[in-house]
Amino acid sequence: MDKRPARISARQRLLAAAGELFYENGINTVGIDRIIEHAGVAKASLYDCFGSKDELVRAYLQERGESRRARINERLAQIADPKDQILAIFDLLGELASQPDYRGCAFVRAGADASASDKVKNAVSESRTFILEKFTDLGRLAGASDPLLLAKQLVLLYDGAATSAYMDGNRSAVAAARALAAQVLVLHNLTPEKY
């Protein structure tokens, strides 16, 4: 049996390098040459795999979005009550925001770039739609009379907490947002068990 580690493809190495560099430094400040050097691949590999930096950015955001969806869905699968599931999304954000390398929401940062291409804007929109739809579905399951209104309120808290945790270095922002989310649930006549 061959015990050598599996060889990582140029595409995977480029995505890993882009993920690390884009998240740490920002999409606009990281050039192609830096990504190629960090990935340890030839320049032609980037163009063979992605065609352009723009497509690499889209793939990076798509991969990040898939990871986020999986992480949230995995956590929610462990919790039965939809009201508690809503608060668990904030708990998960709190865990991420407490990491020393936390740089805020990659999708908010990418979406803030006015010069972003349509491909990048679409990848950002997909992620934003996911979190709104997740909160809407959970609100519906919890019995909210207006699940979309509830979801919009929760997204505001979620985005604000993610931004404040990074921009202000406020590591208690997510806990405060979670407490407010619990109050919003009460305002919608939904009292979570794990208040």
Domain 8-51: CATH superfamily is Homeodomain-like (1.10.10.60)
**Which pTM does this prediction carry?**
0.88
Q: In Å, how far are 91, 107, 178 from 68, measured between CA atoms?
A: 14, 11, 18
Instruction: Write down the pLDDT at residue 194.
Output: 58
In residues, how long is the chain?
195
Q: Does domain 54-187 have CATH number 3.30.1490.100?
A: no
Portions of the chain given CATH number 1.10.10.60: 8-51
What is d(CA 149, CA 188) in angstroms, rounded to the nearest whole number?
A: 10
Instruction: Write down the pLDDT at residue 128.
Output: 93
Per-residue pLDDT of the chain (195 residues; tens, 9 = 90+): 556 555 789 999 999 999 999 999 988 889 999 999 999 999 999 999 999 999 999 999 999 999 999 999 999 999 999 999 999 999 999 999 999 999 989 998 888 877 778 888 899 999 999 999 999 999 999 999 999 999 999 999 999 999 999 989 888 999 999 999 999 999 998 887 655
Instruction: Write down the pLDDT at residue 17.
Output: 95
Q: Distance of alpha carbon 8 from its chain centroid, rounded?
A: 24
- Per-position b or e across 171-194, b if 16+ CB within 10 A of its CB: eebbbebbebbbebbeebebebee
By the 8 A CB rule, do 86 and 190 touch?
Answer: no
Q: In Å, how far are 93, 128, 141, 186 from 178, measured between CA atoms?
A: 10, 19, 19, 13
Long-range Cβ contact pairs of 184-191 (< 8 A, separation 24 or more): 184/150, 184/153, 184/154, 184/157, 185/83, 185/86, 185/87, 185/142, 185/150, 188/139, 188/144, 188/145, 188/146, 188/150, 189/143, 189/145, 190/83, 190/139, 190/142, 190/143, 190/144, 190/150, 191/83
Instruction: Write down the pLDDT at residue 6.
Output: 59
Instruction: Write down the pLDDT at residue 1.
Output: 55
* DSSP letter assigned to residue 4: S
